[in-house]
Structure 1
Amino acid sequence: MWVKLALTLFWRELRRGELTIIFAAIALAVLTVFSLSSVTERIRLNIEQKSADFIAADRRLASNHPLEQAFLDEAHELGLKTAQQMFFDSMLFANDELVLGSIKAVSQGYPLRGKVTLKDDFLAADYEVVGVPKEGEVWLSEGLFYSLGLSVGDQVEIGMGIFRASKILVSEPDAPFFSLAGNKRVLLNYVDIETTQAVQPGSRVFYRMLFAGEEQALGNYYGWLKPQLRENQNWQGIKDRQSPLGENLARSESFLLLAGLFGIMLAAVAMAVSAKRYCERQYDPVAMMKTLGGSRQTIRNIFLLHLSLVTLFSLLIGLVIGFVLQSFATDYLANFMNAQLPQAGIKPWALSISIGVVCALMFSLKPLLDLFDIPPLRVLRRNLGDKLAISRVHMGLSVLTIFSLMWLFSGELKTTLMLFGGTATLMLVLFGLSRLFFSAGRKLGLSPGSSWSLAIATLQKRANANAVQLISFALAIKLMLFLFVLKNDLISDWQMQVPEDAPNAFLININESEVNNIKAYFAENNIVHEDLFPIFSGRANGLNGETFARRTSKQEGEEQDEDAARGVGRDLNLTWMTQLPSSNEVIEGEWFSPDSTELEVSVSKGLAERVEISVGDTLTFLVNEQTFDAKVTSIRSVDWGSLKPNFVMIFNPLVAGKFPVTYFTAAQFGEDDAKLVSELLKTHPTMSMIDIKSQLEQAQSMIAQVSLAISFVLAIVLTSGALVLISQVQASLAERMQEIVILRTLGAKGRLIKLATLYEFLLLGALAGFVAALVSDVTLLIIQRELFDVEGKLHPYIWALGPISGAAFVAAIGYFMVSNTMRQNTQGLLRKLA
């Protein structure tokens, strides 16, 4: 019998709109989470897919000595695709020209991810292939064709072998961002290595194995492989810092993670507010039911069924709208990026349904329990039960639920704590300020009949409710400001902005005998360039006598040994200087003294902080097989964005002559200097040039996708924030109707009421926006440093943007929501209230 009664009441309340708020809140939670998680998941998968292309595989194993065949055999047993690579330098000879080239021999199957870009002739169009040169053929970079005077199809000698230069090599997916390979690259079939006879005992050779397959299989393989790895063998994935794009990918995932968390927070706030408001509206009907003989069990069953039906319908509507929304969004993003976005899978469905159910249960549980405790005497004394309206238990339960949902969604406690802590601070500050502001309004002494006086009086009358509204408004504004700054400021800081006077080419692999000739050539042709610096490769191997810990794989989620000293993790380009570089500044210690008799080193600030190096420490270095110590005499800040030659570590001149070196510089060539560049490379065939601009464009293509994703998420959060505000204002419409009726009865004019309402929302929005801006900026400062690993800074412009945008945003939505109510006559309002 109660089921029939419950359904009757349910359909009646649906028609009356009693369940609209809670229905909209759950639907909002579901569609927000579904659309955000779907879009961010699909973009994340696309970024990972694109990022994997940059290493031509899902994982790779690098070594300075030959790798064992057993490694390949085990990979095949686990169903992984594999390929092999070998890197070595060798002379290329053709047309009486001799050039040192960087050879990359690749086996069948290369590349496992991404494609190789080729040209059939100098003027032909580029095209992509998956494959390797045929036996007896090589693919050469365009610079080698020019240096050797070759045409496509000519023969070239490599070591003891003669090969046909069949294609022009434009790019490879795993081409190094910065290496001594430069533009003298050769792609060779792996089986032709023996033909060249260039790899002899003692040759400088590097080996790689490439792997691709399911994550589970890759993880199992690494578990088998790890105990067998030697110190100079490294397992790498795109997330590892040793990968050129590892840091960019980590930041991309952090951006998308933050975006998803913002959606969770907004949905949770809307649900918590709506559930509380709905249950408060049912106090009188429940008291009436109890007066007419309804039992507690019957009432509980009725409202639990109502909640279940609302949750079910809200889930369906939210999923449908979310699916349509994310379909339009991802189609647009796919067309914009000229890419096919991977499907997100079941994760967004499971996540959004779970969050919808959890929100409906956890945010409604305490208000429903309070609803069942409403005394029957409320029909006579309307204030009975009002003390249940504010419940510390409900607030605590809501806060715990929001934190749990954020942690569940992010999987990262640190990120969750930072965002949650910033939000909690915002709520506490706002609640205190709102109480102070509303109480101070009584002492302003504004004149009767003033719209401002009426607005402030209204704020005072609903002090507790307005404090809650203020927190909701501020939270929505905070999240929008947060994403606005991320989109327009942090991403710009992340991207490397090239100064107008910056060099646009690196010249590397310069022999010492060529230094004076190259300087003369630059001077003769008025080419702006930096000094020529000697460089050699070496590794910081220990600090103060303690050897650094072996590096771990971030790709596999390994943790660093906390008891071992943290090391650099890679070989560095080292140099010596007498003068401090122009883009450097000593911030601790002193620059080298010309009278020093011991080996000294200057360390960049970033490395010093990461490895915990201080002035006066002793660093141990490993160069080839030789170790030596150097005393740290200074810490430098380095402007890496200048694109001028910069170094992590710089020695004093006492290191000169201890190791073989090549020289390195940077120059600025004009668009019409192609002939000068060609003559320079032809005159110095062992030298290589790297086009910085093209390399940066390749590395930043992924950043453009993230920027576009943040733009979409900002639109979603803006819409979600508007819906939160609508739910807050809609919940107070009945009370506002009563106020309008009373004011009209007392003779207040319509213009006075309209202006007072507008001023009320302007004040709420301005105060919410100001506090939201301050708290957002402090939270952003922390996130910049802790999450994105960039130098934190404040953003004063949002201190003004917050109050202005908050006032405009809240006033526009709030006034729009109540404008229809104010247009109705008094008789119509009384009828609705009845």
Structure 2
Amino acid sequence: MWVKLAFKLFSQEFRRGELTIIFAAIALAVLTVFSLSSITERIGLNIEQKSSDFIAADRRLSSNHELDSSYITKAKEYELQTAQMLFFDSMLFANDELVLGSVKATSNEYPLRGQVTIKDHLNGISYDVDSGPSQGNVWLSEGLFYTLNIKVGDKVELGAGIFNVSKVLMNEPDAPFFSLSGNKRVLLNYADIEMTQAVQPGSRVFHRLLFAGEEQQIQAYYTWLKPKLKRNQNWEGIKDRQSPLGENLLRAERFLLLAGLFGIMLAAVAMAVSAKRYCERQYDPVAMMKTLGGSRQVIRNIFLLHLTMVTLFSVVVGLLVGFILQYLGAGYLSQFMGTELPAAGFKPWLLSALIGVVCALMFSLKPLLDLFDIPPLRVLRRNLGDKLAISRLHVSISILTIFLLMWGFSGNIKTTLILFTSTLLVIAILFAISRLLFAAGRRLGLRPGSSWSLAIATLQKRANANAVQLISFALAIKLMLFLVVLKNDLITDWQMQIPTDAPNMFIINIAENEVEPIQNFFISNDIPHEAFYPVFSGRVDAVNGEEFAKRVSKQENEEQDKDARRGVSREPNLTWLDTLPDGNEITEGEWFSDSDEIQVSVFDGWKEVLDLKLGDTLTLLINEQIIEAKVTSFRKVDWGTIKPNFVMILSPNMAGKVPVTYFSAAQLKDSDTKAISQLLHQHPTISMIDIKSRLEQAQSIIAQVTLAIGFVLSIVLISGALVLISQVQASLAERMQEVVILRTLGARGKLIKLATLYEFLMLGAIAGFVAAFVSDVALLVIQQQMFNVEGRLHPYIWLLGPSSGAIFVALIGYFMVSNTMKQNTQGLLRKIA
């Protein structure tokens, strides 16, 4: 019998809108999590696929010695695509010209991701292909054509083999971003390696295997492969590359994760508020049912059935709306990205449905238990049971549930703790502020009949309810501010790394007598270029006369001096400059002074490595020459940019003391191709490193990430607005009562409207100020811990938070209650009844 009654009550309450709030909250939680998780998963897959072009595969295995053939056999069992590569240097000979080329031999399957860009002849138009050269053919980079004085169709000797030059090699998807091989690259078919006879036992070669396939199969294969890898073999993907792109992809992924976490938090807040409000609205019906003889068991069964039905219905609707939203969003993003986004898996469906059910259960359980304890006497004394409205247990359960949901979604306890702790900080600060402000409202002494007086009195009267509203408003504003500021910081950082005016070509091995002609060439052809930097290599041999430990011969049973100072083994490229280059910042000391002694500015990363301090004297071994230089400054260097950077920069009086070559960088347009070809023909000994296509790839991926982040951010902003709406809607009944009382006492409509507007303005401003404060502090931690960027304060959000919070809350709040203001007193009384 109770089931029939439950369905009848459910139907009536649904028609009257009694279940609208809790239904909307659960649906909001489900659609927010589904759309966010689905979109972020699809965007992440697309970005990962696009980024895989940079290594021509999903994963690659590198080795200095030949790889076991079983690796390929096992990969096929896991249904993975594979391609083989071999790198070596060999001489090329044609037309009595001899040059050392950097050879990359690839199997027919190369590339597994991305495309190779070629031209049919030097003056032809570039186009993309999905494979390398066929047997008997080689593709040469443009510089080799000028050095060897050949054209497409000619023959060239590579090692002991003779090959047909069939194409001009413009770009490979996995070409190194910066390589000294420059424009001396050769692409060879893997089957022709034996024909060259250049690879013999003991030859310096580099092996690589490429893999592509489903992520699950790749992970399973790596589980099999990992125990078999040697120490000098490396397994890597795009995220493992030490490059700005790999780091930026990790940052984008973490941002999307944050957005998903914030979406869950907003949806959970909306659900908690709505569940509590729904149960409060049932206090009177439950009291009436108990008065008419309804048992606690029957009442419990009825409302649990209501909760089950509304939860199932809400989850279905939330999934449907979320699917439509992410489908439309993915279509919109696909148009701008120029690519079809991969389909998402089952995870978004399961995750969003689970979160909807968990939210409904955990956030409704305590209010429902309170609902069952409503005394029958409430029909006579309407205030009975109101003390159950605020429950510490309910708050604790809600907080714990939100934490567990965030942790389960992120899988990262550190990230969850940072966000969760900052959120608790917001709640604590706001609760204290709300108590102080609302309690002080009576002592402000504003004049009677003033809208401000009425607004402050209303705030004080509803201190508990307003404290909850204030916390909800601040959480929504904090999360939105957090993502907006972080998005701007990330995009600004990316744009700084690859600015629009960045050079896209490097010219190296320039002789001193070639500097002026090449510089005049750039000027006459209107090609923007960097300065010409003198370059030489040198080794730090001693500090303050204390020599570093020298390498010893184990063959001769020599023992290393354990007391000797430890240095660095490599010889970095050095230069001398008279001004501090862009992208460098002096962290300690001063730039070069007018002095006869040679001075040096050192990258601050080497300060600890070499145990240096200002005033130390470095002994540099350059070829056979010894140069002493005094350390006058340490520099912070942004190695993520493509600008020329140096570990050590010497003072200008170093000029003329050691032999050098020069290098420069330029920004080329497509129309400059012919002119650059002439330059290479006139100066065949220089090398050109063209990174234009690599920059375009990187900028394209960053643009996609930026667009994706903007779309995800818009979903979170909409969720935040819905949270604010649910909070205001929860207080509509109480506001109706206040309007009726004020009108009965003779208050004018304008006074009531302005008082309501001022109330929301104050709530929004206070919430925005606290949200800005906590967001800025939390951003310092998040930027350093999650994004590996220097944390910084953002003064503008101290104005943006209160102003946007006041406007945002006032507009939404006033819009929600405006219909109440327009209704006459008689209509409002009917609704209240």
- TM-score class, shorter-chain normalisation, is 0.7 to 0.9
Partners of 1:86 and 1:217 lie apart in 2 by 25
Tell me the residue number matched to 1:724: 723
Report how far residue 800 of structure 1 moved.
1.3
Tell me the residue number matched to 1:478: 478
Report how far residue 638 of structure 1 moved.
1.4
Q: Structure 2 counterpart of 1:101, which letter?
A: G
Q: Structure 1 counterpart of 2:156, which letter?
A: V
Aligned counterparts, 1:380-419, within 5 A: 380-419=380-419
- Alignment gaps of 5+ in structure 1: 547-566, 624-629
Partners of 1:748 and 1:568 lie apart in 2 by 84
Partners of 1:571 and 1:389 lie apart in 2 by 70
Asked whether the 8 Å contact 2:580–2:591 carries over to 1, the reply is no
Matched, 1:517 2:514: yes
SS of the equivalent of 1:433 reads helix
Q: Structure 1 counterpart of 2:75, which letter?
A: A
Report how far residue 187 of structure 1 moved.
1.2
Note closer, same or farther for the CA distance 1:417–1:570 as it changes in structure 2 (3 Å cut). Answer: farther
Asked whether the 8 Å contact 2:575–2:646 carries over to 1, the reply is no
Tell me the residue number matched to 1:553: none
- Alignment gaps of 5+ in structure 2: 542-546, 550-565, 623-628
Note closer, same or farther for the CA distance 1:331–1:673 as it changes in structure 2 (3 Å cut). Answer: closer
Report how far residue 221 of structure 1 moved.
3.6
Note closer, same or farther for the CA distance 1:226–1:648 as it changes in structure 2 (3 Å cut). Answer: farther
Partners of 2:572 and 2:392 lie apart in 1 by 60
Q: Structure 2 counterpart of 1:517, which letter?
A: E
Partners of 2:811 and 2:11 lie apart in 1 by 32
Matched, 1:44 2:41: no
Note closer, same or farther for the CA distance 1:676–1:702 as it changes in structure 2 (3 Å cut). Answer: closer
Report how far residue 181 of structure 1 moved.
3.0
Note closer, same or farther for the CA distance 1:518–1:676 as it changes in structure 2 (3 Å cut). Answer: farther
Tell me the residue number matched to 1:560: none
Report how far residue 65 of structure 1 moved.
3.0
Note closer, same or farther for the CA distance 1:664–1:25 as it changes in structure 2 (3 Å cut). Answer: same
Q: Structure 2 counterpart of 1:390, which letter?
A: I
SS of the equivalent of 1:507 reads strand
Report how far residue 64 of structure 1 moved.
2.5
Tell me the residue number matched to 1:81: 81
Report how far residue 686 of structure 1 moved.
4.4
**More displaced stretch, 446-455 vs 567-576:** 567-576
Tell me the residue number matched to 1:736: 735
Report how far residue 819 of structure 1 moved.
0.8
SS of the equivalent of 2:238 reads coil
SS of the equivalent of 1:114 reads coil
Note closer, same or farther for the CA distance 1:167–1:174 as it changes in structure 2 (3 Å cut). Answer: same
Aligned counterparts, 1:145-164, within 5 A: 145-164=145-164
Relative to the length of structure 2, the TM-score reads 0.87
**More displaced stretch, 480-489 vs 752-761:** 480-489
Tell me the residue number matched to 1:59: 59
Matched, 1:168 2:168: yes
Note closer, same or farther for the CA distance 1:304–1:700 as it changes in structure 2 (3 Å cut). Answer: same
Asked whether the 8 Å contact 1:538–1:572 carries over to 2, the reply is yes
Note closer, same or farther for the CA distance 1:411–1:642 as it changes in structure 2 (3 Å cut). Answer: closer
Asked whether the 8 Å contact 1:375–1:384 carries over to 2, the reply is yes
**More displaced stretch, 792-801 vs 326-335:** 792-801
SS of the equivalent of 1:182 reads coil
Note closer, same or farther for the CA distance 1:711–1:83 as it changes in structure 2 (3 Å cut). Answer: same
Q: Deviations over 1:89-143 (max 9, x none)?
A: 3333344544443221101211122222333345555443322211111122334
Partners of 2:680 and 2:718 lie apart in 1 by 57
Partners of 1:465 and 1:614 lie apart in 2 by 61
Partners of 1:529 and 1:672 lie apart in 2 by 19
Q: Structure 1 counterpart of 2:338, which letter?
A: N
Tell me the residue number matched to 1:551: none
Tell me the residue number matched to 1:505: 505
Tell me the residue number matched to 2:560: none
Q: Structure 1 counterpart of 2:752, which letter?
A: I
Q: State, as a whole percentage, how many aligned pairs show the same letter.
A: 70
Asked whether the 8 Å contact 1:496–1:641 carries over to 2, the reply is no
Report how far residue 739 of structure 1 moved.
0.5
**More displaced stretch, 792-801 vs 491-500:** 491-500
Report how far residue 395 of structure 1 moved.
0.8
Matched, 1:91 2:91: yes
Q: Structure 1 counterpart of 2:255, which letter?
A: F
Asked whether the 8 Å contact 1:535–1:664 carries over to 2, the reply is no
**More displaced stretch, 221-230 vs 519-528:** 519-528
Report how far residue 149 of structure 1 moved.
4.2
Asked whether the 8 Å contact 1:522–1:529 carries over to 2, the reply is no
Q: Structure 1 counterpart of 2:819, which letter?
A: N
Report how far residue 327 of structure 1 moved.
0.7
Tell me the residue number matched to 1:455: 455
Asked whether the 8 Å contact 1:83–1:210 carries over to 2, the reply is yes
Asked whether the 8 Å contact 1:111–1:130 carries over to 2, the reply is yes
Tell me the residue number matched to 2:531: 530
**More displaced stretch, 573-582 vs 685-694:** 573-582
Tell me the residue number matched to 1:218: 218
Tell me the residue number matched to 1:558: none
Partners of 2:8 and 2:773 lie apart in 1 by 49
Partners of 1:670 and 1:223 lie apart in 2 by 46
Tell me the residue number matched to 1:790: 789
Partners of 1:829 and 1:539 lie apart in 2 by 86
Note closer, same or farther for the CA distance 1:603–1:199 as it changes in structure 2 (3 Å cut). Answer: farther
Tell me the residue number matched to 1:557: none
Note closer, same or farther for the CA distance 1:44–1:120 as it changes in structure 2 (3 Å cut). Answer: same
Matched, 1:781 2:807: no
Q: Deviations over 1:48-67 (max 9, x none)?
A: 11122221112111123333
Aligned counterparts, 1:367-382, within 5 A: 367-382=367-382
Report how far residue 162 of structure 1 moved.
2.1
Tell me the residue number matched to 1:114: 114
Note closer, same or farther for the CA distance 1:545–1:94 as it changes in structure 2 (3 Å cut). Answer: closer
Matched, 1:11 2:11: yes
Partners of 1:818 and 1:639 lie apart in 2 by 53
Q: Deviations over 1:258-284 (max 9, x none)?
A: 111111111001001101111111112
Report how far residue 786 of structure 1 moved.
1.4
Partners of 1:213 and 1:765 lie apart in 2 by 51
Partners of 1:815 and 1:347 lie apart in 2 by 39
Partners of 2:824 and 2:607 lie apart in 1 by 72
RMSD in angstroms over aligned alpha carbons?
A: 3.9
Relative to the length of structure 1, the TM-score reads 0.87
Report how far residue 220 of structure 1 moved.
4.1
SS of the equivalent of 1:117 reads strand
Tell me the residue number matched to 1:249: 249
Aligned counterparts, 1:360-759, within 5 A: 360-497=360-497, 503-508=503-508, 510=509, 514-518=511-515, 521-522=518-519, 529-534=530-535, 574-575=573-574, 582-583=581-582, 584-588=584-588, 604-605=603-604, 635-640=634-639, 643-648=642-647, 664-667=663-666, 677-759=676-758
Q: Structure 1 counterpart of 2:393, which letter?
A: V
Note closer, same or farther for the CA distance 1:570–1:222 as it changes in structure 2 (3 Å cut). Answer: farther
Partners of 1:237 and 1:488 lie apart in 2 by 27
Partners of 2:123 and 2:521 lie apart in 1 by 31
Asked whether the 8 Å contact 2:108–2:131 carries over to 1, the reply is yes
Aligned counterparts, 1:190-209, within 5 A: 190-200=190-200, 203-209=203-209
Partners of 1:119 and 1:707 lie apart in 2 by 32
SS of the equivalent of 1:341 reads coil
**More displaced stretch, 402-411 vs 196-205:** 196-205
Partners of 1:819 and 1:53 lie apart in 2 by 55
Partners of 2:167 and 2:813 lie apart in 1 by 66
SS of the equivalent of 1:294 reads coil
SS of the equivalent of 2:777 reads helix
Q: Deviations over 1:500-550 (max 9, x none)?
A: 886553223x27xx344345643686595435454669999xxx999xxxx
**More displaced stretch, 819-828 vs 61-70:** 61-70
Asked whether the 8 Å contact 1:238–1:246 carries over to 2, the reply is yes
**More displaced stretch, 633-642 vs 270-279:** 633-642
**More displaced stretch, 165-174 vs 212-221:** 212-221
Report how far residue 690 of structure 1 moved.
2.5
Asked whether the 8 Å contact 2:532–2:662 carries over to 1, the reply is no
Partners of 1:224 and 1:607 lie apart in 2 by 39
Tell me the residue number matched to 1:808: 807
SS of the equivalent of 1:48 reads helix
Note closer, same or farther for the CA distance 1:568–1:2 as it changes in structure 2 (3 Å cut). Answer: farther
Q: Deviations over 1:607-636 (max 9, x none)?
A: 879x998769999x9x9xxxxxx9999752
Aligned counterparts, 1:811-826, within 5 A: 811-826=810-825
Note closer, same or farther for the CA distance 1:592–1:497 as it changes in structure 2 (3 Å cut). Answer: closer
Partners of 2:602 and 2:222 lie apart in 1 by 34
